Structure 1
Amino acid sequence: MAVIPGQGLPDGKPTDDTNYASDVKALQLVTEDTPKNAARGSLVPWQQGRENFLTNIIGGIGQAIIGGITGIVDGISSIFQPVTRAGEEIRDGQLDLIERQDTLDKLMNRGGAYPSYSEWADARTWYRVPFDSQLGPARQTVVGGGRIKLLDKGHWDVYAQIITANAAGLLTRYVDWEVRAYVPVTGGGRRLHAKQNGRINGNPSAQGTIVTDFGFDVEGAEIEVWVYVHNYYGRNVAWGPANCRLTCKQVSSDRIAGDGSEDSGIPEVNS
């Protein structure tokens, strides 16, 4: 737009008005580069905001990946809350039968246990599930130290169940777990006699069950449950009789051939 001195502006305002004179002076300073500079200046804060936005997003993803690599499974604050409530609301009636051996067959030796709490453990570390509380009547068995001790030799059926907690993270959780049978050795100590393997895959809460049997030619064998969690640390296994159980029942007082200690293996499969 051209401005001619002595003539009015398009809206009829005289140019001798102070405000309009300053406006005219400002307009006369406008060059070809003025719009470009203005546009460039308006892009600077937008660009900075965009960079800050991307930085925040990428930083957040990075934190999420870091958290997902190791994983967090916290049973106290939130993840185990439903399990806790269920454990508090439902009491297993077998707890009232701990001393009632009269409910067992006179030839039946058995023992049952459940964990009274959930063990905190690091990822990629074997740890024992604390089956420390007796469940139901027992004969020729003792519950203590996170295991069931068998006071008679022979052949025993073993039933184990665990339930995993929900895992919050980006990586897939794999839970390897085992029912292990240890036998005492002369001079003290013990050795691993046999085991049965299991695996639970996935991040949602899931159930794993192992049904197996072991034979022993000595008294004092100990039955335990061990867990190894890939990618996630914390309290991965629930507790209480409604979620986790370990039960041993004697089938025969004589050791039967094939006691579970034989060699085992998993072959490689080529695609």
Structure 2
Amino acid sequence: MVRRAVELPIPQSVDREAAEQALQRFGYMVQETYETGQRNAIEQEDLNARQDLLSPLLDYGSAYMGTATPVARPMTLPFSNQVGPMSGCELTAGGRIRLLDRGLWDIRCQVWVNEVPAPGLTGVANWEVRVLRPDMTIYSVQAQTNETQRPYSQTAVASVVVPEPGYLVEAYLSFIASFRSLRGGANFNRLTVQHISRDVTTGDTGQ
């Protein structure tokens, strides 16, 4: 249905030209308000589609080593058992966690080292939290060491800025003394990542 414009009567005591100008200005204001509302609606729709504006703090993942066989040689530690849901990251077949977004990530890893079985033996155990590029070359390392002969748990905390998605986080046992091992099981270890920011321009990268 087409609506016809209605011409409002103007009292004779009112300046007709001034009244028409006032009505015209009012019409311009209504049109401008409508157009502004339309622009705002379009801009809001664009913002709704911007995934990069969502908070990265919901990106989180955690895993543990479930192996019953103690780890007693240099290798990537098999963190292959996922704990709860993962968001913004994923567990790989090799026991690593793949980061699916760029920016600052916080990494925490805890391991349990078994005791030295006989007195007089060395107790050195060296391990690392590594961040690997998508081509599997090393991007960042956080090293840990201990020489005590008693059993102990050790936690590494690392932070790193990755420039793009696809980087991998692993815990790597680089050296362990003879007759010593790392213990598997949900009660003794964790590898956890949490996304903090998508900013890749502020500060150092943590390499």
Same fold (TM over 0.5): yes
Match of 2:155 in 1: 209
Match of 2:64 in 1: 114
Q: Of residues 102, 117, 120 in structure 2, which corresponds to 1:168?
A: 117
Q: Of residues 200, 216, 222 in structure 1, which corresponds to 2:168?
A: 222
Shift of 1:218: 1.2
Match of 1:196 in 2: 142
Q: Work out the CA distance in 2 between the residues paired with 1:190 and 1:163.
A: 26
Q: Does 1:252 align with 2:169?
A: no
8 Å contact from structure 1 (residues 173, 229) kept in 2: no
Shift of 1:119: 4.9
Shift of 1:204: 1.4
Gaps of 5+ in 1: 1-104, 262-271
Q: Which deviates further from its counterpart, 157-166 or 168-177?
A: 168-177
8 Å contact from structure 2 (residues 56, 197) kept in 1: no
User: What are the Cα deviations for residues 18-52 of structure 1, in whole angstroms up to 9, with x where unaligned?
Assistant: xxxxxxxxxxxxxxxxxxxxxxxxxxxxxxxxxxx
Match of 1:129 in 2: 77
The structure with the largest helix share of the pair is 1
Q: Work out the CA distance in 2 between the residues paired with 1:225 and 1:217.
A: 21
Across the aligned residues of Structure 1 and Structure 2, the Cα RMSD in angstroms comes to: 1.8
Shift of 1:174: 0.6
8 Å contact from structure 1 (residues 159, 248) kept in 2: yes
Q: Of residues 129, 137, 158 in structure 2, which corresponds to 1:179?
A: 129
1:2-13 alignment, distance < 5 Å: none
Match of 2:183 in 1: 238
Q: Work out the CA distance in 2 between the residues paired with 1:142 and 1:251.
A: 16
- SS at 1:190 equivalent: coil
Gaps of 5+ in 2: 1-54
Query: Greater relative contact order (Cα 8 A, min sep 6): structure 1 or 2?
Result: 2
- SS at 1:257 equivalent: coil
> How many aligned positions are there?
149
Shift of 1:155: 0.5
Letter in 2 for 1:243: F
What TM-score do the two structures reach when normalised by structure 1? 0.52
